[in-house]
Amino acid sequence: QVQLAEFGGGSVQAGGSLRLSCERSGPYVDTYCMGWVRQAPGKEREAVASIDSDGTIRYLDSVKGRFTISQDNTKKFLYLQMSSLKPEDTALYSCATAGDCGWLLLRLHSYWGQGTQVNVSS
């Protein structure tokens, strides 16, 4: 089974930066999409950023220009560099993978890690 583990969350002031890391283990299908999703209390889950199997990168509109998603050549690690953080970025961030990037938010069609908490204070 696919397993994902996230690292790098923490508490920062608005305007600060954090770098999240995700390590994948278990079977991997090279056609799978990988990305990051987040959920804050009382808010809908959002797909923050993703890298498709063909290398196409997509971002949530609210994080464009501030967040950068990347992965290593082995696709064992996935990263999310977050800059100019805002209080509204506060959420539990989870690494995710699915057969299609449009399925990242569909729990029964994707694999998620346990998540790492990001808190941004004003």
Average pLDDT of every residue of the chain: 95
97 neighbors 33 (Cβ within 8 angstroms): yes
pLDDT of the residue at 27: 81
- Answer whether residue 112 shows pLDDT above 90: yes
- Answer whether residue 13 shows pLDDT above 90: yes
Instruction: List CB contacts of 68: < 8 A, sequence separation 6 or more.
Output: 80, 81, 83
